[in-house]
Amino acid sequence: MQTRQSELLFSQARALIPGGVSSPVRAFGSVGGTPRFLVRGSGSKIWDADGNEYVDYVGSWGPMILGHAHPAVIKAVQEVAANGLGFGAPHPLEVELAKAVTEVYPQLQRLRFVSSGTEATMSALRVARGYTGRDYILKFKGNYHGHADGLLVEAGSGALTFGQPSSAGVPEDYAKLTLVGRYNDAEALEGVFARHGERLAAVIFEPVMGNAGVIPPTEEFLSALRRLTREYGALLIADEVMTGFRLAPGGATERYGLEPDLVTLGKILGGGLPAAAYGGRAEVMAQVAPEGPVYQAGTLSGNPLAMAAGLATLRELAENPGIYEKLEQTGALLQNGLTEVLQAAGAPFSINRVGSMITVFFTEGPVTTFDDAAKTDTAIFKKFFSGLLDRGVYWPPSAFESGFISAAHTEEDIFKTVEAARAAF
């Protein structure tokens, strides 16, 4: 496979951009080789600067649930762009998209558009602090909620502890306002609330963990989250930036029957363009300026291009409800095919899948916690990833990320992927 153009572009980029990329995982640091510079996408396929074609399981890290360059989405963006790219003022499409969201997320009585998932989670936590008058938050090891200072925090020496910075530039005193718990550990959750519940403004969690690989929640864990937050007066924030609209029309909130106080959304919400949102109960969202004292603003928030792309995407999902059944079937076909290949290869593995989100862990299963996921053999994953890439399959370049299936993926795509995995081993 020829990669000369990508190699040249990466060399030039490293002289101008830290690491040569605008987001760390794109640098292929954990898998080696040259990151592909992608120039075109259509349906389930992407093409790089050298003209190589790939079946894509990254999907811009989740937004492309309909596939790349879906005609309805492209048409909507083109029509809006012809009238101007943005105004820094209210636009009718904001109202239309907000209505489309609340139709499938009735828990979001009010919402505010922003431009990124990081903005959404950061703002939701600020609202929770303003509403409760409390300072502390609880997150879970292995859950990723964007790169705001208070969220770039990892667990200390204890099972449930005050956070410690996981990035340079994050003040220790600020990190200490974040407690870090164990995902899927209801007993430990009881303990942290017994010790700190009266000080907690909010608990934020991924309903399905995706940034440590796909790890679904247990019923016991979800039940404990809702019961304890209500008992102690903390807000429950479901971070659905990744799962929103993907696991069901109403995301993981619908799929698991969640009752969050606030929800954060992104990725699919923008249809491939930068858009996100946070929202929830009307009384909580009344804290947001200009109605309330919690300030949050953004120049490009609710910009018409992103609103058009997001609205077109949600309309396609609403008008074609069979998409979710198709995604489930395609996901099962891929999971079964990879299971057969890896069993024959004798590799230690466990495949976690929830709907159209999938991760292959190269460790003996089951994988139900972050500590389980951390045992994955990254050397075997590198072999798996490189074998697929060399044979025209673009898998997420990290052992700890979710792969994404789109409505555009076909049985032929799945067959090619399974055969590429077979050849890799």
Instruction: Enter the DSSP assignment of 356.
Output: T
Distance separating alpha carbons of residues 275 and 68, to the nearest angstrom: 17
Which residue is catalytic, options 176, 267, 324, 413?
267
Closest CA to 252 of 204, 220, 213, 216: 216
pLDDT for 155 equals 53
For the four alpha carbons of 249, 252, 258 and 262, in that order, the dihedral sign comes to negative
Distance separating alpha carbons of residues 239 and 263, to the nearest angstrom: 6
Closest CA to 386 of 3, 90, 15: 3
Has this prediction a pTM greater than 0.85?
A: yes
Kindly report the number of other CB atoms within 10 A of residue 370's CB atom.
21
Instruction: Enter the DSSP assignment of 23.
Output: S
In which region does residue 147 sit, left (phi positive, over 0), alpha (psi from -120 to 50) or beta (all else)? alpha
Pairing of strands 178-181, 161-162: antiparallel
Q: For the chain, which domains are there?
A: 4-69+321-424 (3.90.1150.10), 71-319 (3.40.640.10)
Which residue is catalytic, options 48, 239, 261, 372?
239
pLDDT tens column, 36-54: 999 999 999 999 999 999 9
What the block records as the tokens of 190 is: 């009881």
pLDDT for 153 equals 82
Which residue is catalytic, options 144, 278, 324, 394?
144
pLDDT for 163 equals 62
Q: Please name the residue that has the structure tokens 């492209």.
A: 74
Residue 388 · residue 417 · CB < 8 Å: yes
pLDDT tens column, 172-188: 878 889 999 999 999 99
Distance separating alpha carbons of residues 109 and 163, to the nearest angstrom: 32
pLDDT for 150 equals 86
144 carries an active-site annotation:
yes
- Which residues have a Cβ under 8 Å from the Cβ of 7 and sit 6 or more positions away? 34
pLDDT for 162 equals 58
Backbone angles phi, psi at 29, to 5 degrees: -60, -35
* H runs (alpha helix) in 142-241: 172-175, 186-196, 219-232
Residue 310 · residue 271 · CB < 8 Å: yes
* H runs (alpha helix) in 166-293: 172-175, 186-196, 219-232, 251-255, 282-285
Closest CA to 359 of 329, 387, 327, 381: 381
pLDDT for 158 equals 40
pLDDT for 161 equals 47
What the block records as the tokens of 246 is: 């993907």
Q: Which residues of the chain have pLDDT under 70?
A: 155-163
Element holding 345 (H helix, E strand): helix 322-345
pLDDT for 159 equals 38
End-to-end CA, the chain: 19
